[in-house]
């Protein structure tokens, strides 16, 4: 019962859509997240729809379905895939193996009391017995399938079995019954928009009319097949189309319209060569031979005869390979049965020796597994130790660099603060002008110390995985104005004008705290290396699906050597600004890490003596 809902949805969805859209719908379902059971059934149904359209693709899909069913222990779902495998093997000419696979699937369906699965197996077995020329078994199985499908009221499957039983009656010259079931098949399949089966039914009608010498009706039926062939394109039943072209050629020859024969034979040949329909192609060449003989084209007759001989040789080779496959399969099975019997006989005679041997083998195997397990454990422990060692070395290097930076760039400004403050406290004879200069120096040292502290803490948190990422929708212009305002005193101290150019509000998805650190460091860096009374230009605009921000200064610029070492944390990094400003060298490292963490890119271009341009880009919201 667990599959009933899914199976009915897959079957009944045909009635509401054309065959092409149904196949595309099944392919779309595979791209969605499906349960394992649903995936097996969808691939099986898609394989069933493609059997007469693209047999190799159908075989690939059913192999995947069976593998997944076996892996996930989905026996009933696997039986549906097994049934389609039997159909495909019949199409490849493996009739005995195909019948065995179908009987295996039927046994599983009977165990689960799945009438739909049993009926499908009867349908496929009937078609297989038709190929083998056994009319009684073919009709018996097809009638059993009709009985179940009618009771379950599944018109989609009735359309298939009506078409198959019509073909069976045609093969065994029951033309009235064949015509009756062809009409029922067309009626049902037209209501379901199952165009490949409609093509097959009209093809059968054409064959029946040809046999009963109703040539005008035969021509109309074959043309109906080709009309659907043109409309369906890649999803056409190409086998039916090839037989329709061949049928038209035969009818035109029988009705003495030789001028219409050649093109139909050529079209039939092209489809057969493209799709590999060897049985139909063989008949096409035979009819071509008769046609050229009838019109007296003996040069073409010789060429066709040569093609026929070559094709016959190829067909014999293929038939031999198919028979070899079946023979090898049976020989392998018989050989296995013989080996099992011989082994059982030896086992009875030498039971004690075998038991001892097995115990010894198990003991050796267990010891080997324990040894391998211990070796693997040792390797895993060594790998963990190596990884931990590298991490410790990295942390130790980071600690050394951090201490070096603190010693050189962090303690130094604090020492200046201490010295200036002590001078102010102890010396009461400092004139006002000197006091003003000392206070300015104190202010600058404190400001530098605060900036150094912020960068050191931000960098240290990032190194210890302590930096929290909290992205939001951020309007870049507002945040930029806030940052510019917050460092305006630094810009005024050097009489530098910061210009922000933005045409329209632009939103990005990022952490506002990270973005503030990025903007503050880049602008502070530009102020640091700009000369007094210069300007810094900030341009914010949208380019495609990105927000692009350019920071351009006209300061000292950078050499290639400096550019190549911007993102290296050095134990001593002395890079003073135009007014003697100091830094840790961490600013751009932090910027790069935060830009990448916020889904952005950063690019730097600089000309020594002319200035630097920082370009950032982030996805627009």
Q: What is the pLDDT of residues 383-404, one digit of tens each?
A: 877 877 776 776 566 556 555 5
Q: What is the mean pLDDT of residues 401-428?
A: 61
Residues 6+ apart with CB under 8 A from 538: 480, 484, 498, 499, 500, 501, 523, 549, 550, 551, 552
**Residue 571 CA: distances (Å) to CA of 117, 123, 241:** 75, 81, 79
Question: Which has the closest alpha carbon to 514: 478, 481, 474?
Answer: 474
Tokens matching residue 408: 């050189």
Would you place residue 346 in the very low, low, confident or very high pLDDT band (cuts 50, 70, 90)?
low
Contact predicate 51/67, CB 8 Å: no
Would you place residue 618 in the very low, low, confident or very high pLDDT band (cuts 50, 70, 90)?
very high
According to DSSP H, which parts of 409-431 are helical?
411-426
According to DSSP H, which parts of 172-277 are helical?
175-192, 195-211, 215-232, 238-254, 261-275
When mean pLDDT is compared across 489-503, 510-524, 570-584, the lowest value belongs to 570-584
Phi, psi for residue 482 in degrees, rounded to 5: -60, -45
Average pLDDT of the chain? 79
Contact predicate 550/538, CB 8 Å: yes
Q: What is the pLDDT of residues 128-150, one digit of tens each?
A: 888 788 888 888 998 999 999 88
Domains of the chain: 4-228+240-255 (1.25.40.10), 468-619 (3.30.565.10)
Q: Does the structure show a pLDDT above 50 at 546?
A: yes
pLDDT of residue 584: 53
Beta bridge partners of 539: 501, 550
Strand pairing report for 535-543 and 601-607: unpaired
Taking the alpha carbons of 247, 253, 255, 257 in that order, is the dihedral positive or negative?
positive
Tokens matching residue 115: 């009438």
pLDDT of residue 252: 92
Cα–Cα distance, 576 to 525 (Å, whole number): 10
Would you place residue 379 in the very low, low, confident or very high pLDDT band (cuts 50, 70, 90)?
confident
**Residue-level length of the chain:** 621
Taking the alpha carbons of 63, 65, 68, 73 in that order, is the dihedral positive or negative?
negative
Q: How many CB atoms lie within 10 A of CB 20?
A: 17
The winner for highest mean pLDDT among 550-554, 566-570, 573-577 is 550-554
Taking the alpha carbons of 115, 118, 122, 128 in that order, is the dihedral positive or negative?
positive
């Amino acid at each position: 019962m667990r599959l009933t809902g899914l199976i009915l949805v897959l079957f009944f969805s045909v009635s509401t859509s054309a065959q092409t859209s149904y196949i595309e719908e099944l392919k779309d379902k595979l791209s969605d997240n499906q349960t394992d059971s649903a995936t097996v059934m969808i691939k099986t149904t898609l394989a069933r729809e493609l059997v007469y359209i693209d047999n190799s693709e159908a075989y690939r899909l059913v192999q995947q379905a069976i593998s997944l069913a076996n892996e996930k222990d989905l026996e009933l779902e696997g039986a549906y895939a097994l049934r389609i495998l039997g159909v495909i093997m019949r199409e490849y000419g493996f009739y005995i193996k195909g019948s065995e696979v179908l009987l295996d699937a039927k046994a599983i369906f009977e165990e689960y009391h799945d009438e739909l699965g049993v009926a499908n197996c009867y349908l496929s077995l009937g078609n297989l017995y038709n190929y083998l020329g056994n009319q009684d078994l073919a009709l018996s199985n097809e009638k059993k399938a009709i009985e179940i499908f009618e009771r379950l009221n599944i018109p989609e499957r009735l359309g298939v079995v009506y078409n198959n039983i019509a073909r069976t009656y045609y093969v065994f010259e029951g033309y009235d019954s064949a015509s009756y079931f062809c009409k029922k098949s067309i009626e049902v399949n037209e209501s379901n928009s199952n165009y490949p089966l409609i093509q097959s039914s009209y093809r059968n009608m054409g064959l029946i009319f040809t046999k009963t010498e109703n040539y005008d009706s035969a021509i109309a039926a074959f043309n109906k097949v080709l009309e659907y062939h043109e409309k369906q394109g890649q999803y056409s039943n190409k086998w039916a189309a090839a037989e329709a072209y061949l049928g038209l050629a035969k009818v035109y020859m029988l009705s003495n319209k030789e001028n219409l024969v050649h093109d139909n034979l050529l079209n039939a040949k092209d489809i057969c060569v493209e799709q590999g329909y060897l049985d139909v192609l063989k008949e096409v060449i035979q009819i071509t031979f008769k046609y050229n003989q009838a019109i007296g084209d003996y040069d073409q007759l010789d060429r066709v005869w040569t093609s026929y001989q070559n094709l016959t040789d190829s067909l014999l080779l293929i038939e031999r390979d198919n028979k070899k496959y079946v023979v090898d399969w049976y020989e392998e099975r018989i050989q296995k049965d013989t080996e099992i019997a011989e082994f059982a006989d030896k086992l009875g005679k030498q039971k004690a020796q075998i038991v001892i041997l097995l115990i010894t083998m198990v003991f050796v195997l267990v010891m080997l597994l324990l040894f391998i397990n211990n070796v693997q454990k040792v390797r895993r422990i060594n790998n963990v130790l190596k990884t931990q060692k590298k991490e410790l070395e990295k942390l130790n290097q980071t600690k050394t660099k951090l201490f070096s930076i603190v010693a050189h760039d962090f303690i130094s400004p604090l020492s200046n603060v201490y010295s200036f403050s002590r001078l102010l406290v102890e010396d009461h004879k400092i004139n006002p002008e000197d006091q003003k200069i000392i206070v300015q120096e104190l202010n600058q040292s404190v400001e530098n110390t605060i900036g150094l502290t912020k960068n050191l803490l931000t960098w240290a948190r990032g190194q210890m995985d302590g930096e929290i990422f909290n992205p939001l929708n951020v309007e870049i212009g507002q945040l930029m104005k806030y940052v510019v305002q917050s460092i305006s005193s630094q810009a005024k101290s050097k009489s530098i004008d910061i210009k922000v150019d933005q045409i329209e509000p632009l939103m990005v998805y990022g952490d506002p705290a990270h973005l503030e650190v990025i903007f503050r460091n880049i602008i502070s860096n530009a102020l640091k290396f700009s000369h007094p009374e210069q300007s810094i230009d900030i341009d914010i605009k949208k380019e495609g699906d990105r927000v692009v921000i350019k920071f351009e200064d006209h300061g000292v610029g950078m050499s290639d050597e400096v550019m190549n070492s911007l993102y290296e944390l050095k134990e001593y990094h002395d890079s003073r600004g135009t007014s003697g400003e100091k830094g840790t060298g961490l600013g751009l490292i932090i910027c790069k890490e935060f830009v990448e963490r916020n889904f952005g890119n950063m690019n730097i271009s600089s000309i020594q003596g002319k200035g630097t341009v920082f370009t950032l880009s982030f996805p627009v919201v």
